[in-house]
Structure 1
Amino acid sequence: MPHSFGLRARTRYLFSRGFRNHGLLQTTTFLRTFRLGDYVDIKATGNVHKGMPHKFYHGRTGRVWNVTPRAVGVIINKRVGPRIIAKKIHVRTEHVKPSNSMAAHLKRIQENKKAVVEAKKAGKWVDVRRNPAAPKDGFFVNPRNTEFVEVKPVKYELLL
């Protein structure tokens, strides 16, 4: 562990660009629109030094609270000792991408709404709560149709 504690210390591989990913960024990076309340993943892009987040926030997911012409304000929870503090940081859009963390949740909400509407039409009640997986059903093993395997420990032999 080196004895230097700079802002970008120990980020040699963290902020480096991947194999064959050097050079100019794609135009989609600059054309993305972010709205308040969107969930975003912070992933620092090494070839854009302006507006780069601190290494702590690299790989974290937060929620957009402010949008400026070239940057996005993100709220991220940071654990400091026993507390969790909501940190507000501004990051340039090159270091931010939309998060898919809520995709499964939103899909489940749409399916539940559809199920409730169909149940109301049929005059029934539907349970949309998630339930844990039940244990496997019990069954009987027929000893005539099963092949038994004798399991025993391997004899120890000293090999020199």
Structure 2
Amino acid sequence: MTNSKGLRRGTRYMFAREFRKHGVEHLSTYYRSYKRGDIAYHGKTGRVFNVTKRGVGVVVNKQVRGKILPKRICIRVDHIKPSTCRIDFLNRVKINDEKRKDAKAAGQPVPQLKRLPVPPRAAHVVSTKDNEIEVLAPLRFEIVA
């Protein structure tokens, strides 16, 4: 039999629900509210540009040959979920504002608020004064019959 070239070819496992995840969709999925400008996730992350009664319009980027094109797709709300990609950034902004306000109230200069990479560990000397040197060597492999 030749390989079929249909629209949903090769999607047997891709579109199938996971083990023990079958059944009716939770109502909390339908109660989530989406607004224009929100970031939503549907296998790809995109921005909501339209909200209708049952669905949401999302702009996602798709690579076509050498170009990245914005694609507008309309998705039902039970197929998407709000993206959590900005939560860490928003929390960091809130904490930095508090640090800045505390420093200003105390009359101190604003502390370093930018994220910095972890610096290399400082050099140190290992003393062998009271430690015996332990020599490690591989054990000889013998076949026991």
For the criterion TM > 0.5, the same-fold answer is yes
User: What residue identity is the alignment partner of 1:108?
Assistant: R
User: What residue identity is the alignment partner of 1:132?
Assistant: P
Provide structure 2 residue ranges, at least 5 long, that are not aligned to the other structure.
Answer: none
Q: Is it true that 1:105 corresponds to 2:106 in the alignment?
A: no
Q: CA deviation at 1:61?
A: 1.4
Q: Is it true that 1:132 corresponds to 2:117 in the alignment?
A: yes
SS at 1:64 equivalent: strand
Q: 1:8 corresponds to which residue?
A: 8
SS at 1:145 equivalent: coil
Q: 1:20 to 1:155 in 2, by over 3 A?
A: closer
In the aligned structure 1, how far is the partner of 2:122 from the partner of 2:132? 22
Structure with the greater relative contact order (CA < 8 A, sep ≥ 6): 1 or 2?
1
In the aligned structure 1, how far is the partner of 2:57 from the partner of 2:11? 23
Q: CA deviation at 1:107?
A: 0.9
Q: Is it true that 1:28 corresponds to 2:28 in the alignment?
A: yes
Q: 1:64 to 1:153 in 2, by over 3 A?
A: same
TM-score by length of 1: 0.79
TM-score by length of 2: 0.86
Deviations 1:5-33 (A, max 9, x none): 22211111111112222222111111111
Q: 1:19 corresponds to which residue?
A: 19
Q: CA deviation at 1:154?
A: 5.4
SS at 2:103 equivalent: helix
In the aligned structure 2, how far is the partner of 1:5 from the partner of 1:75? 27
Q: CA deviation at 1:146?
A: 3.0
Q: 1:53 corresponds to which residue?
A: none
In the aligned structure 1, how far is the partner of 2:5 from the partner of 2:103? 61
In the aligned structure 1, how far is the partner of 2:15 from the partner of 2:132? 57
**How many corresponding residue pairs?**
143
Higher Rg: 2
Map of 1:9-158 to 2, 5 A cutoff?
9-42=9-42, 59-123=43-107, 124-152=109-137
SS at 1:144 equivalent: coil
Deviations 1:31-70 (A, max 9, x none): 111011111111xxxxxxxxxxxxxxxx211111111111
Provide structure 1 residue ranges, at least 5 long, that are not aligned to the other structure.
Answer: 43-58
